[in-house]
């Protein structure tokens, strides 16, 4: 064995025999000592993800971040989306045995009561004004005044109609709140994703032209067919694997994060709506859309072939999807091009964009977006998300609604993308969009999900140990024109 191979060092001591010390060549000599370098362990993508989250989210969430982080790294809690295409009574009986309860329909009933109460308040204010006007115009002296009475009543009805329209316009105006937004995020969001952005002092949006974003209220109704069960025991995280019902045709339920149903609930699908799910794989939200039993048609789009196969498998197992199905169509288009391919087409659009998938990235190293070779792809996410949302706003009809959603905690992928897309719609696409207030929905769900209180435009479900759902961000946008 060659001593030179090991970088042999010969030490000659006075009056002593020659000694040979074998030293690896990569070792360095500092002064009079030989030091063994520390072995640098390979950074796994999950390690990179957690470091990125710690650098960014501790500034975004402050003192709340440690508890959110703990929830993010703990076992996720699931819900069971009931399949209406199999024996529902049989599935509900199974849910009772598992100690689970439906959280969707109680919320639907509560929202319906709120809607009725709002309508009654409107009718009451209108009827009071009608009563006052009629009292001053109902003095009849004899039968010869019948014609004059008829004329007066028609005039009063016309005035009341005008008054109602004015009151409705005034109420709508009073519900609108103006948000001043510094746009131009397209050029900056790549940098914002890096932890160094937090410490950068040159990031100044005051020089960017400002635009106004309207915030409106809109009644929300939920299909009576949509149901998702969650365990009543906080220690129960997962449901057993779904099985076929007694007919042996379809699976009984689809296990998913219960927070993932919220974007579909917020979409407010009505009977006959034609819906576009722009980024549909793996298929949970598309399946939830079909479970409303309201759709006049569903287009589930997924450009990536492997994910599209997963989407087809889910729909085939639960609703019997095949290529000849006219109600559900699976496509493989670039979502960013959808606005030019089919503009002003859909009643509702769901834009559940690719994101950093924070919970998965924190614990999984397989095909992670935080892998070193996917860094550029990760930095490009906000621009891609903004383009997809713009395409969705082009594809929806005027008067229709769009839900933008992610499973990320990042403000740069959530509110910032909404602001960027709305600025682009207003300046480049001549599309008027308003942000819909979803606070009535979150008020009804506050005992189940933990919502962040520092989100500007949408709603964000935060992971926590009590009910460990999320993260899930969703924002509802109404296309005015």
Q: Which residues are catalytic?
A: 407
Note whether 282 and 314 are within 8 A (CB): yes
Gap between the Cα atoms of 403 and 154, Å rounded: 44
Chain position carrying tokens 């070779």? 373
Gap between the Cα atoms of 90 and 96, Å rounded: 10
SS3 content of the chain, % helix, strand, coil (to 5): 45, 20, 40
Gap between the Cα atoms of 295 and 278, Å rounded: 16
Length of the chain: 481
C-alpha dihedral, 150 to 155 to 156 to 160, nearest 10°: 140
- DSSP structure class, residue 462: P
- DSSP structure class, residue 42: P
Phi, psi of 297 (to 5 degrees): 170, 145
Chain position carrying tokens 């009805």? 157
Q: Got the DSSP string for 58-70?
A: HHHHGGGHHHHHH
44: how many CB neighbours lie within 10 A of its CB?
Answer: 14
């Amino acid at each position: 064995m060659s001593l030179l191979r090991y970088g042999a060092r010969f030490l000659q001591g006075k009056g002593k025999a020659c000694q040979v010390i074998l030293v690896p060549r990569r070792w360095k000599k500092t002064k009079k000592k030989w030091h063994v370098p520390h072995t640098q362990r390979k950074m796994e993508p999950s390690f990179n993800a957690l470091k990125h989250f710690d650098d960014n989210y501790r500034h975004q969430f402050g003192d709340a971040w440690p508890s959110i982080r703990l929830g993010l790294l703990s076992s996720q809690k699931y819900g069971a989306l009931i399949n209406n295409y199999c024996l529902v009574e049989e599935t509900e009986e199974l849910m009772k045995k598992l100690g689970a309860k439906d959280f969707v329909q109680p919320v639907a009933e509560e929202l319906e009561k709120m809607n009725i109460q709002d309508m009654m308040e409107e009718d009451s204010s209108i009827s009071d004004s009608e009563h006052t006007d009629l009292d001053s115009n109902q003095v009849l002296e004899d039968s010869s005044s019948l014609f004059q009475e008829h004329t007066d009543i028609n005039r009063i009805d016309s005035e009341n109609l005008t008054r109602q329209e004015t009151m409705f316009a005034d109420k709508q105006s009073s519900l609108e709140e103006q948000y001043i937004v510094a746009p131009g995020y397209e050029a900056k969001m790549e940098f914002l994703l890096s932890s160094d952005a937090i410490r950068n002092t040159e990031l100044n949006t005051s020089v960017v032209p400002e635009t106004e974003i309207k915030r409106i209220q809109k009644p929300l109704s939920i299909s009576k067919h949509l149901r998702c069960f969650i365990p009543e025991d906080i220690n129960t995280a997962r449901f057993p694997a779904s099985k076929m019902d007694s007919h042996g045709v379809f699976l009984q339920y689809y296990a998913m994060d219960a927070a993932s149903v919220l974007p579909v609930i917020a979409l407010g699908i009505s009977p006959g709506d034609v819906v576009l799910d722009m980024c549909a794989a793996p298929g949970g939200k598309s399946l939830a859309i079909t479970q409303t039993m309201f759709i006049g048609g569903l287009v589930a789009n997924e450009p990536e072939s492997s994910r599209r196969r997963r989407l087809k498998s889910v729909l085939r197992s639960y609703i019997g999807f095949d290529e000849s199905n006219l109600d559900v169509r699976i496509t493989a288009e670039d979502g960013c091009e959808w606005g030019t391919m089919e503009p002003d087409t859909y009643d509702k659009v769901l834009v559940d964009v690719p994101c950093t998938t924070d919970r998965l990235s924190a614990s999984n190293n397989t095909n992670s977006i935080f892998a070193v070779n996917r860094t550029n792809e990760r930095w490009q996410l906000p621009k891609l998300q903004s383009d997809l949302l713009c395409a969705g706003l082009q594809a929806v009809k005027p008067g229709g609604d769009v839900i933008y959603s992610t499973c990320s905690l990042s403000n740069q992928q959530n509110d910032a993308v909404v602001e960027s897309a709305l600025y682009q719609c207003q300046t480049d696409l001549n599309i008027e969009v308003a942000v819909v207030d979803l606070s009535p929905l979150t008020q009804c769900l506050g005992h189940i999900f933990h919502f962040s209180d520092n989100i500007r435009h949408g709603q964000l479900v935060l992971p926590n140990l009590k009910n460990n759902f999320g993260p899930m961000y969703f924002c509802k946008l109404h296309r005015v024109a």
